[in-house]
Structure 1
Amino acid sequence: MDRRSLIKHAGIAGVLAAGAAPAVHAQAAIRWRLASSFPKSLDTIFGTAEVFAKKVSEMTSGKFQISVHAGGELMPAFGVVDGVQTEAVEMAHTAPYYFYGKDPTFCLGCAVPFGMNARQMTAWMYQGNGLKLMRDFYAKYNIINLPGGNTGAQMGGWFRKEIKSVADLKGLKFRTNPFAGKVLEPFGVVPQSIPGADLYPALEKGTIDALEWVGPYDDQKLGFNKIAPFYYYPGWWEGGPQLDFYINSKAWGALPAEYKAVVEAAASHAHVSMLAKYDGLNPTALKQMVGSGTKLRPFTQDVMNAAFKSARQIYSDLSKSNPEWKKVYEDYAKFLADQNAWFRFTEGTFDRFMQQQKL
């Protein structure tokens, strides 16, 4: 049977099975580099970028490879926005609130004090206007953003001394995210912005008096419980901090439609995987640290109230002075208010009941 007859009688399925035609959706091999803001020692946060890259490779039969580089390897941990913007790398994985200094609007794509929890943030991104509004904002940085994980509500951090009132905050050199630092400044706190890889020596040497990172699993791995005895909660400045994959807009535009779909699917997979990992690992780590002497403490009501009032004032001031912030924050705040009205009847009531039970 000649080739023409084969095609006529076998149809396209038979032709493909026989290896007589090229693949319909063959794509050229692509190689990208991803700059992370995190150290390799954190299998949770840094590992999320690896989960993403692995899934992209699997879904493209190895034709789309993304190499993942730890903070400081290709560029400073806090230099990844500039790296993506200038095409030094095709993409990055980072916490947007690190870039408060560029524009506080970055923080709305991650977490702001007394803001959304993890589920609410994901809902705003995928069902609300969050993804669109942040894309509009990132356009001037040549960035396309995709949700890239969430830690869930974080702990308030490690302190050498007890914080019994607002007065105890005065003069405290505290490593925290830039927005939280701004909220705490009126109480005499001296905020410090230090990458994760440098936190242990800074606390050990007394360069800082206190720090917050994420939560029990990461904190135990980094050894903070060996230096500071008091572990405070909650991290009211990040009730559900979302990490992002930042992609250079030119690199994104050059991708074929199939590969764009792959990247979006892989990012969603990594986004879900990260929160699942934290929820799965944090309970055991917390038990172990408490068992070895860590002293859990809640922030006092006066600290919480004072911080809440300070945050609201900052939001009001920013809305008057920063049009980009105002545009995004108005939608964010409305969505959060609706979410809280809903959560208080179901999730909140159910959670409070279950947490009182001895299971």
Structure 2
Amino acid sequence: MAISLTSAAASADEDILRWRMNSLLYPKLFGEAGSYFAAEVERRTGGSFLIEVQDRMVLDQDSFGALEAGLIDAVWGSAGHHHREDPALAIFSGFPFGPDPEGFTAWMREGGGAEALDAIYARHALKSFYCGVLPAEGGGWFRAPVETVADLDGLPMRAFGYGALTLRALGVVPYELPAADIRPALETGLVAAAEFSLPSIDADLGLHEAAGHLYLPGWQQPATSLELLMPRRRWTALSYDHRSAIEAACVTTLTWSLETAQPQQVAALERFRNEGVMIHDWPEEILARLREAWAEVIAEETVRDPLLAAAWESYLSHVESRGAASAQGYID
């Protein structure tokens, strides 16, 4: 009888599919969304599909190699994390003067965005699923006020992705620093400004204690997408039930992210005000120049890559069909 029970337990365990999913994202909100997704998959499969979420065990730039080698089964992150491997992916994390979370979601789910992203990942034998979206970032933390475009010329600033390229066109000297290094860089004067993430996450990092001026809107990233990424062979090997669970869990995680993140940003902004942070609107002169610079940046980038050009055309067509994009990036 003991042998029989042991065999039954072993057989039941063998029927459980176990994945290792590496989260590239900051633990608060971003990483929590990954854990929420994994729990949804487990619930929907009755425990037959378990996803272990590992917090940044593999670095962004090592993700493709780790997936190919089978060291991990999936990655939780945002497409822009893989810009070193494929610059065309950066646009799918959110982009300057782009849509708000609802508008970004509409493009990805109904306007051809998911298909455009799938075409880019196909050249790496990868497949992704749009599983979440977060609201606008802050527009940047500054040690001194910014009043004119001239104030940006030569300014050392932590910045990332297309936002960094756009700022560079106005004379900013961008640095891509990891989260833990941003506050020390501000405090020592290595940089005089920084943009990183949502206000609630910037608060966790103490950026408001190192730079007392916050600018809004977060023009550089009015929305941040969350995705599940895996080798295509992993997806094709899944059963119908497990595929369905992943798709359904992405939908519920998307809803969770939309409902959860926004109130936290409102609370963070109120905290900043109470602690003496000066919250400014970007001067219209600067926003106008940033828009011009972004138009030049995306024009140059699309010339280099036909698939990026197709993705950008997909977005523009979607905006035209729905009317003007919601691109303010305000979060309060």
**Same fold per superposition (TM over 0.5):** yes
Q: Counterpart of 1:201 in 2: which secondary structure?
A: helix
Q: Counterpart of 2:96 in 1: which secondary structure?
A: coil
What is the aligned partner in structure 1 of residue 33 from structure 2? 48
Cα deviation, residue 264, structure 1: 1.0
TM-score scaled to structure 2, two decimals?
0.89
Cα deviation, residue 85, structure 1: 4.2
What is the aligned partner in structure 2 of residue 91 from structure 1? 74
- In 1: Cα distance, 2:326 partner to 2:301 partner: 28
The higher radius of gyration belongs to 1
What is the aligned partner in structure 2 of residue 235 from structure 1? 218
Distance 1:82 1:183, change over 3 A: farther
Distance 1:337 1:206, change over 3 A: farther
Q: Paired residue for 2:276, among 293, 301, 306?
A: 293
Asked if the contact 1:148/1:271 (under 8 Å) is kept, the reply is: yes
Asked if the contact 1:34/1:92 (under 8 Å) is kept, the reply is: yes
- In 2: Cα distance, 1:63 partner to 1:124 partner: 33
Q: Which amino acid in the other structure matches residue 159 of structure 2?
A: T
Q: Paired residue for 2:115, among 124, 129, 132?
A: 132
Q: Counterpart of 1:239 in 2: which secondary structure?
A: coil
Distance 1:180 1:47, change over 3 A: same
What is the aligned partner in structure 2 of residue 67 from structure 1? 52
- In 2: Cα distance, 1:296 partner to 1:340 partner: 31
Asked if the contact 1:115/1:336 (under 8 Å) is kept, the reply is: no
What is the aligned partner in structure 2 of residue 4 from structure 1? none
What is the aligned partner in structure 1 of residue 19 from structure 2? 32
Count of residues paired in the alignment: 318
Asked if the contact 1:149/1:274 (under 8 Å) is kept, the reply is: yes
What is the aligned partner in structure 1 of residue 312 from structure 2? 329
- In 1: Cα distance, 2:20 partner to 2:188 partner: 35
- In 1: Cα distance, 2:152 partner to 2:68 partner: 38
Distance 1:197 1:85, change over 3 A: farther
Gaps of 5+ in 2: 1-12
> What is the CA RMSD across the aligned residues, in angstroms?
2.3
Q: How many percent identity over aligned positions? A: 25
Q: Which amino acid in the other structure matches residue 183 of structure 1?
A: T
Q: CA offsets per residue over residues 95-154 of structure 1, 9 Å max, x none? A: 222333333321232212111221111111111211112111101122111113211122
Structure scoring higher RCO (CA < 8 A, sep ≥ 6) equals 2
For residues 1-359 of structure 1, the aligned pairs below 5 Å read 28-40=15-27, 42=28, 44-71=29-56, 74-341=57-324
- In 2: Cα distance, 1:87 partner to 1:209 partner: 41
- In 1: Cα distance, 2:112 partner to 2:219 partner: 24
- In 2: Cα distance, 1:185 partner to 1:130 partner: 27
Distance 1:227 1:342, change over 3 A: closer
Asked if the contact 1:178/1:191 (under 8 Å) is kept, the reply is: no
Q: Which amino acid in the other structure matches residue 88 of structure 1?
A: L
Distance 1:283 1:308, change over 3 A: same
Distance 1:341 1:189, change over 3 A: closer
